[in-house]
Chains A and B, each alone.
Chain A
Amino acid sequence: MPTNRRSKTPRRKRMSSPSDTIAVDAHGHGEHDELVSHQFEDLNQQTEAYSVGMWIFLVTELMFFGGLFAAYVIYRGKYHEGFIEAHHHLNVPLGGLNTAVLLTSSFSMALAVRSSMLGKWKSQIAYLYVTLICALGFLVIKAIEYTDKYHHHLIPGPNFNTEAFKDKGGELFMSLYFAMTGLHGIHVLVGVIVISVLIVRTWINRNRTMDYMPIEMSGLYWHFVDLIWIFLYPLLYLIGRA
Chain B
Amino acid sequence: MSAEQHSAVPIRIYFNVFLTLLVLLVITVWVAYMDLGFLNTVVAMAIAVVKALLVILYFMDMRRGAHLAQIWAGGGVIFLLTLFCLSLGDYLSRLVF
Contact = CB atoms under 8 A, between A and B. Distances in A.
Is B a genuine binding partner of A? yes
Interface of A: 11-12, 14-15, 18-19, 44, 47-48, 51-52, 54-56, 58-59, 62-63, 66-67, 69-70, 73-74, 77-78, 92, 96, 99-100, 103-104, 106-107, 109-111, 114, 117-118, 219-220, 223-224, 226-227, 230-231, 233-235, 237-242
A77 B83 contact: no
Contacts of B58: 110
A109 B58 CA distance: 12
Interface of B: 1, 3-9, 11, 14-15, 17-18, 21-22, 25, 28-29, 32-36, 40-41, 44-45, 47-48, 51-52, 55-56, 58-60, 65-66, 68-69, 72-73, 75-76, 79-80, 83-84, 87-88, 91-92, 97
A55 B75 CA distance: 10
Contacts of B33: 241-242
A223 B73 contact: no
A224 B79 CA distance: 16
B38 to A, nearest CB: 10
B6 A111 contact: no
A19 B44 contact: no
A77 B97 contact: yes
A51 B40 contact: no
Nearest to A14: B4
A230 B52 contact: yes
Interface SS of chain A? helix
A73 B66 CA distance: 33
Contact of B25 (A19, A56, A70, A100): A100
B82 to A, nearest CB: 10
B40 to A, nearest CB: 6
Contacts of B79: 59, 62-63, 66
A234 B44 CA distance: 6
Contact of A242 (B40, B59, B68): B40
A18 B4 CA distance: 10
7 contacts: A48-B68, A58-B73, A59-B79, A70-B84, A227-B52, A239-B32, A242-B34
> Which of B6, B60, B76 counts the most A-chain CB atoms under 10 A from its CB?
B60
A117 B6 contact: yes
B4 A230 contact: no
Contacts of B56: 223, 227
Contacts of A237: 32
B60 A48 contact: no
Q: Which of A66, A106, A223, A230: most chain B Cβ within 10 A?
A: A230
Nearest to B1: A48
Most buried by A among B29, B56, B73, B91: B29
Given A18-B6, A55-B72, A238 B32 contact: yes
Contact of B36 (A11, A69, A227, A242): A242
Contact of A103 (B8, B21, B75): B21
